[in-house]
Each structure stands twice: as C-alpha cells, then as structure tokens.
A and B are shown apart, each in its own frame.
Chain A
Amino acid sequence: MVSYKSTIFETKAVVIRHMPIGEADRLVTFYSEKFGKVRAIARGVRRYKSKMSGHLDILNLVSISVGKGKGIDIITEVDTLNAFSTLKKNLTNISTAVYLSELVESVSMEESPNERLFNLFVSSLSRLTQGDEYFHILRHFEVKLLEYCGFGPELNNCLECFKVLPPADHYFSSYIGGLICFDCGQSVEGSKISIKKNTIKLFRYFQKHSEHDSSALIIPKNNANELELILNHYIRYVVGKEMKSTKFLDLITKKT
C-alpha cells in the first residue's frame, strides 16, 4: 500500500463536502479508495476559470492527486471519472446520495481505508444513477455499512440467552447490538424496539444478499417503515449523533 505520508499520493475518491476557505479556496473532504477519509485544500477553485472546480463537485467520483502541505494537504490534480450526472437531475436521488455520503463521513476516520466501504459507496451511487428504488439502496447501504465498519447487528441468536431465534416477533436493542428474543426482552432493562417477524426476515435478507438480489424485493409498507426506524435508531447509537441530511431526505421523499 502506498504510504499516506508520501509527498504526493494519488487515489480514486468521491467528493463528500466543501467548505469555503480564504479568498477563493475550498477545504474539500473526500472518501478515497486507498486512504479513507481525507481533507485537503483546493486552491483557487471558487474562481470561474479554475481548472479544478468542475471536477470537485460534491458526489463526483474522481481521480485525485494530493500533495503534503505544511499543515493541511493540497490537491494538485483532479479528474472526473464519473460525475453521476443522471443522479444529480433528481432531487430524491440527490438527497439520498447526500445522506449516504454523510453516513460514510460519520463512520470513517482519516487515514483508515476501507475498500469494501468505498466500493459499496460507489456502487450505491451508480444504482441511484440507474434509477433503482431509493428505499432498497438506502437499507442495503445502511446494513452493509454497519457490517463493513464492524457494527453488523446479530440477527440469528438472542444476545441475552444465545439461543437460535425462532421465527416470531422479537426485540431489537441498539445498545446490545442486535436481537433479543421475546422472552428475554420482557426482563431486559433499557431501550429496546419491538420488531415483527417479517421485518426480521427483511433485515436478514439485506444482510445476506447482494445489492442486485435486493433490488427486486417487494416490501410491505409496515415492514419497510419498521426497518427504517430500527436502522435509524441503531445508526444514531453507533455514530453518536443525528444525521443532518435525514431531515431533507424525509421532506423530499414524503413529497414525491
């Protein structure tokens, strides 16, 4: 692996966030294939004639070269590999993609690469571009992201009595990190959410299957809502904060 400390490093990356800095610069956060989350300065990109500005739009998949600066790194070269233009023509897709990028940013730390997470991120953006159902993309992404970051919930055995869970309604505990059988759930203290038998099946399906298998699923609304609620709760517990982009995503998806 190329050392992060080398003078100039090059990697594939997805642009996540910008912040204006100085006269015409931007502090860019991107999630890269080789180095995980990276923050670097793009000089002069707020000027119209900047050669880099168009390439550094949020959600662009780019090939990027970064040089070590005195304090913070500096972007020296960038080229668009995929601008996901079709995705960016639809507000539901944009709000979904922004939520995915906020999740990636929240669970990752600088200088800790996670290639599986990077590939999941890029393939989810591609699925949005192809017009796949946003709900399937979101849930598949959340379940796999948790797994790739070491927070995959236990869905087969009760985390209190360790018995294999029979097909029935049970409880989900974010604090314990998975399911508790109905009987143990009665005596366990602390926050737990009841989960229907079919929602557990759906949860397991997303956990076991690839994105291509899950795209054809027909999901009843009550199970979809329950799974969304549980995953949101668990992610909030894992990340330790509310996702800022959820509010806009809810606004747009309720409208469309």
Chain B
Amino acid sequence: MNTIDNLIDQLSRFPGIGAKTAQRLAYHLIRMPIVDAKAIAEAIIDVKDNIDLCSNCFNITEIDPCIICTSIERDTSSMCVVEQPLDVVAFEKTGVYKGVYHVLHGAISPINGVGPQDIKINELVKRVEIGHFKEIILATNVNLEGEATAMYIHQIISEMNVEITRPARGLPYGGDLEYADQTTLSKAIEGRQNL
C-alpha cells in the first residue's frame, strides 16, 4: 500500500468519514503547508499521550482526578450519570448543574451485545456505596436504550438510601407541538407545571 492510500485508509476509520471524504481530506493534507500538517499530527499524539479517564468519574481529563471531581465549589452530594463525556460538556454549558458526574461510556444495548458489564455501572454502584450522595440524577439519553440503562441502575441502587431522579422530559424549546410524538407529548402533559 502506498503512502496516500495508507492515509486515506487511516482517515476513513473516523466515524462518519467514508472513502470519498477520506480521499478529499487526504488530498487537502497533501496541499497543506508542512507546518500545519505537523501541527495536526502533533495535536493527535498530544491528545493520546495526555488525555486519560478520571479514575473517579470516568470523564476524559488531563489530570487525574479531574477538575470537576477535585473542585471545592461542586456539590459532592449530587451525582449526574451520563452516557458520554460530551454529555458532561452539554450540562456544563448550561451552568445550572453544580454537582459531580459519572460517565458510563455507553448505554445498555442488548441487540448490540452491550450489557451492564460493558459500561461503567459497577464503578457507579461502588461510588454510590462508599460516597455520601443524597441525589443521583440518571441523565441517560431519552430513548429505549437510555431508559433501559436508567431502569437497570435504578433497580440496583434503589435500596441504597439515596434519592434517584431523572431529568424532566417534554417538548423541546422552539419545537412545534404538532410534530411531537406520542411519548414526548404524554410525558410533557404528565410533567406539566403551574405557571
């Protein structure tokens, strides 16, 4: 395999990058000044060398434990359980949540052979057992796999004397009511609030 083919082959390993896109990216890299191309290569190596998982919450971090787990400003009695590190980023952008996190790195997906032992559920249970949490927010995705994961975790930790909650579900801001599906609309009605 020659150098260009190898580069195309490697680039097509990224999610969402097919052979054509990989080819375009490869030819763009070839036309790029050597300095810029090296900067990209070094950034990739840097990330792999310096980024690891926090041994506490399993979010991606440069220092272990991560800055959220070690911050004195965070409420350590509240834990938000999410599927992916990007979900932490989304919550942090809101600035509303001040507790700590636990990243599962996936959701239970029986049809894909992903069971509870394949994601960070055992680690979560251990944290709840030894921690002093008052509330666990199960913020897994609102779909069948996310719901199944939340239900499974709930089954295990329900007897641990901790409040277990799930973020409210309903209509998205800016969404048209007429396009809402049955489940979303029924959840929105169930969770209605006084004005």
Contact = CB atoms under 8 A, between A and B. Distances in A.
B29 to A, nearest CB: 21
A245 interface: yes
Contacts of B155: 91, 255
Contacts of B112: 17, 244
A83 B15 contact: no
A21 B21 CA distance: 14
A251 B115 CA distance: 9
Contacts, number: 78
Contacts of B181: 54-55, 57, 80, 83
A85 B183 contact: yes
Interface string B156-192: 0000000000000000101110011111101000000
A248 B115 contact: yes
Interface residues of A, number: 35
Contact of A94 (B15, B115, B148, B184): B148
A244 B144 contact: no
Nearest to B144: A58
Interface string B103-146: 00000101111011000000000000000000000000001110
Given A49-B172, A58-B143, A91-B151, A21 B186 contact: no
A17 B152 CA distance: 20
Contacts of A54: 180-181, 183-184
Given A54-B184, A57-B143, A58-B144, A98 B179 contact: no
B110 A95 contact: yes
Contact of B172 (A20, A48, A83, A91): A48
A23 interface: yes
Contacts of A57: 143-144, 181, 183
A240 interface: no
Interface of A: 16-18, 20-23, 48-49, 51, 54-55, 57-59, 80, 83, 85, 88, 91, 94-95, 98-99, 101-102, 105, 244-245, 247-249, 251-252, 255
9 nearest A-B pairs in the assembled complex, by CB-CB distance: A54-B181, A244-B113, A245-B110, A248-B110, A51-B179, A58-B144, A22-B16, A55-B181, A54-B184
13 contacts: A51-B179, A54-B184, A80-B181, A88-B144, A95-B110, A95-B148, A98-B111, A101-B111, A105-B111, A244-B110, A244-B113, A245-B111, A247-B115
Given A83-B181, A105-B111, 17 more contacts: A16-B111, A18-B143, A51-B176, A51-B179, A57-B143, A57-B181, A57-B183, A58-B144, A80-B181, A85-B183, A91-B151, A101-B111, A102-B111, A245-B113, A247-B113, A248-B110, A252-B152
